[in-house]
Amino acid sequence: MSVSRSHSHAATSAQTIRAWRGAALWSRGFRPFFLGAAVWSVVAVGLWPFVYSGHLELGSAFTPIDWHAHEMIFGYVAAVAAGFLMTAVPNWTGRLPVAGWRLASLAALWLAGRIAMLDSAHLGRILAAAIDCSFLVVFAGLVAREVVAGRNWRNAKVVALVAALAFANLAFHIEDAASGLAVYSQRGALALVVMLILLVGGRVTPSFTNNWLARAGSPKRPAPFGRLDVGVMALSALALAVWTWNPYGPAVGGLALAAGVGNFIRLSRWAGLAVRRDALILVLHAGFGLAAFGFVVAGTAALLPDVVPYDAAVHVFAIGAAGLMTLAMMTRATLGHSGQPLAATTVTKAAYALVLAALLLRVCLSFSPRLQTPLLYAAACAWILAFACFLWGYAPLLTGKADIPGRR
């Protein structure tokens, strides 16, 4: 795409945003989806300890663990991915952002899926699956259309991962209906989330770091994307594929440990210590580092299952890597696209710290099953407080009108 054409599309996009006269919530994709993701994260995790302990029964056809895993991956993470990509893809392709009733309709599909999963015992599995799966199918089609129409072939990998996540959601429903559990599709979906972190996080983390260092006048720069990154990404994909099939044994153990070391090497080349004073960028490095650490824990659990529990690796990936990276992306994108200074407030830093606390408490639970009840409730409380902090600090930006360029 030529520079003039790119500038023309950018100007048209800005005009579209300024011309929107409806509720600010429907002006850009990050607004309803980041807000919905945060609210649902608080609700779903708030319900979880009571459901798991048997003190609360949902109208779901799924086991409590399957419902919890599904809603955190296909509910929370999918919403964050939608908010991020619906805001980023127009910048990548130079095409107009989705806004207004189209955006509201897509958000309604996502919300309908959450309700369907909660009431699936009454709706029936087939209808609940159809409602729940429709969001990711439509969203994957939307991203694919934009990338193809904009001839932005570089981001075809993102389209493939979103399409694979939509397929994993369908597989979840099929596997659970057939066996009463969705073990393989749960791991497969989490593996896809980790790959999204390695792909998108591996792009934005060094990019934002480079911009910060340039503004600060520092001579340090992150290493450019190269063959090492391609090789580590391929190794990571292979390790996650084998882990999805069977999380135990020397093969997956060796691959996961190698992928963990490889991703730590990638991270070490991005000058993270040089940006330690900027929490908004440092947290991206931390989230990527937890993805790398997840491979190390998964590899150790595969080789020494009596020493390191399997679910410790699951939660390093899920709470640590996915939880911290999604929160990092939501805070930075909301500030940047609502015209606010790119600086982490005390509330923002507290949210980051509370997610790390939730991770630590949940991993301690894996090693201390006798303290299951207090640690489970404590981890849930830390997570809920983290996203309550996000809502306190960012809900006004997500719903407000004054921060839209050109509006009064």
Same domain, yes or no: 370 and 329: yes
In the chain, the number of structural domains is: 2
Rounded to an integer, the average pLDDT of 167-182 is 95
Alpha carbon separation from 63 to 69, 75, 107, 111, 143 (Å, rounded): 10, 16, 26, 21, 32
- Per-residue pLDDT of 183-222, as tens digits, reads 999 999 999 999 999 999 999 999 999 999 999 999 999 9
User: Which of 145, 162, 181 is a domain's end point?
Assistant: 181
CB atoms inside a 10 Å sphere around CB 230: 10
Q: Which amino acid is at 44?
A: A
Task: Give residue 97's pLDDT.
Answer: 76
Alpha-carbon gap, residue 67 to 149, rounded angstroms: 36
pLDDT of residue 405: 40
150 lies in the same domain as 218: no
Please tell me whether residues 223 and 318 are part of one structural domain.
Answer: yes
Same domain, 301 and 171: no
**pLDDT single digits (tens) 310-322:** 999 999 999 999 9
Shared domain check, 68 and 53 = yes
Q: Supply the pLDDT for residue 260.
A: 98
Domain boundary among 181, 212, 228: 181
Q: Which of 153, 181, 209 is the last residue of a domain?
A: 181
Q: Mean of the per-residue pLDDT values for the chain?
A: 90
pLDDT of 285: 97
What average pLDDT does this structure show over 147-169?
A: 86
Instruction: Give burial (CB, 10 Å; 0-12/13-18/19+) of 59.
Output: exposed
Tell whether 172 and 206 lie within a shared domain. no
Residue 146 pLDDT > 70: yes
Condensed to tens digits (0 to 9), the pLDDT of residues 80-129 reads 999 998 888 777 767 767 888 999 999 999 999 999 999 999 999 999 99
Structure tokens at 35: 């807000």
Res 152 pLDDT > 80: no
Convert the pLDDT of each residue in 245-276 to its tens digit. Answer: 999 999 999 999 999 999 999 999 999 999 99
Q: Are 196 and 268 in contact (CB under 8 A)?
A: no
Q: What percent of the chain has pLDDT over 70?
A: 92
Q: Are residues 177 and 195 in the same domain?
A: no
Q: Please identify which residue in the block is written with the tokens 């399409």.
A: 163
Residues 128 and 194 in one domain: no
Residues 146 and 281 occupy one common structural domain:
no
If asked whether residues 264 and 126 sit together in one domain, one would say no
Which residue has tokens 């391609």? 230
Residue 402 has pLDDT above 80, yes or no: no
pLDDT tens digits, one per residue of 331-348: 999 999 888 999 999 999
Give the domain range for residue 14. 1-181
Predicted confidence (pLDDT) at residue 286 exceeds the cutoff of 80 = yes
Q: How far apart are CA 408 and CA 400, in angstroms?
A: 11
**91 and 121 co-located in one domain:** yes
| 334's tokens | 């909301």
Task: Give yes or no for residue 16 having a pLDDT over 70.
Answer: no
- What's the pLDDT at 406? 36
Report the C-alpha gap between 180 and 50 in whole angstroms: 21
Residues 259 and 406 in one domain: yes
- In this model, does residue 384 exceed pLDDT 90? yes
